[in-house]
Amino acid sequence: MLELAVLGLLQEAPMHGYELRKELTAKLGAIRAAISYGSLYPTLRRLQAAGWITEAAETPATAEEVPALTSRRGRVVYTITAEGKERFAQLIAQAGPETYDDTGFGVHFAFFARTDQATRLRILEGRRRKIEERREGLRDVLGRAAERLDAYTLELQRHGLDACEREVRWLEELIANERSGRAPADPRPGTAGGRGDNDSPPTPGTSRTERP
């Protein structure tokens, strides 16, 4: 999951670790607390070993007059490679079971602007299915096993059930929007948000496979 997120962010601009973490936190703040350096740095090393990103020590050119007395540790800037972009496209398009759990879905959703419409639809529907299953499980417990459980546990289930129902409704809305070729929460096309580098045209009918 982290792999996908890092690749996605570096596609927007080269960054160093600290910056990456901040951007990650901003982009994924809705679904997870803040990613740890204990995950980030090993992931960066892994990605680099695989050839999907390159690492370049920041040396401001005119800085060699500074002696190596304190062995200045410069920032390390990571840049995505062509292979990395391919890898990202592959990861974003293929949906495994982990694509539909809370974290996995959140990360995929956060990069929907770089995802073609067919895949978006597939992911939204898969997520809906999963949440519906969870919802049924909770309903079962609240119905059949209610007398076995104490009031607090029951209250927890009720709150969870409510959250499920709410998310299903949210997904329904997104799916309907997606089918009618509109951007999220954007009743009329043309106003489509991201000025800048939105790869995939938000309108339907398109969705060609990739570039040469």
Binding site for a second copy (CB under 8 A): 26-27, 29-31, 33, 101, 106, 109-113, 134, 137-138, 141, 145, 149-161, 163, 166-167, 170, 174, 183-186, 192-194, 196, 198, 202
Q: Name the one range near DNA by CB under 7 A: 86-94, 96-104, 118-126, 187-195.
A: 96-104
127, burial (CB in 10 Å: exposed 0-12, middle 13-18, buried 19+) = buried
| DSSP tag of 100 | G
Restricted to residues 97-116, the positions that interact with DNA (CB under 7 A) are: 97-98, 101
CA nearest neighbour of 100 among 124, 66, 67, 81: 124
Q: Indicate which of a second copy, DNA, none lies near residue 45 (CB less than 5 to 8 Å, by partner kind).
A: DNA
The alpha carbon torsion through 60, 63, 67, 69 (nearest 10 deg) reads: -30
In whole angstroms, how close is the CB of 73 to a second copy at the nearest point? Answer: 29
Report the distance separating Cα 59 and Cα 64, nearest Å.
Answer: 9
Which residue among 12, 45, 51, 146 contacts DNA (CB under 7 A)? 45
Please state, in angstroms and rounded to a whole number, the distance separating the CA atoms of residues 133 and 96.
17
59 binds DNA (CB under 7 A): no
Q: Are 163 and 132 in contact (CB under 8 A)?
A: no
Residue 75 interacting entry, from DNA, a second copy, none, C-beta within 5 to 8 Å by type? DNA
| Partners of residue 55 on adjacent β-strands | 78
Told to check if 46 binds DNA by CB under 7 A, we report yes
* Binding site residues, DNA, CB under 7 A: 1-3, 16-19, 32-33, 35-39, 41-43, 45-46, 70, 72-73, 75-76, 96-98, 101
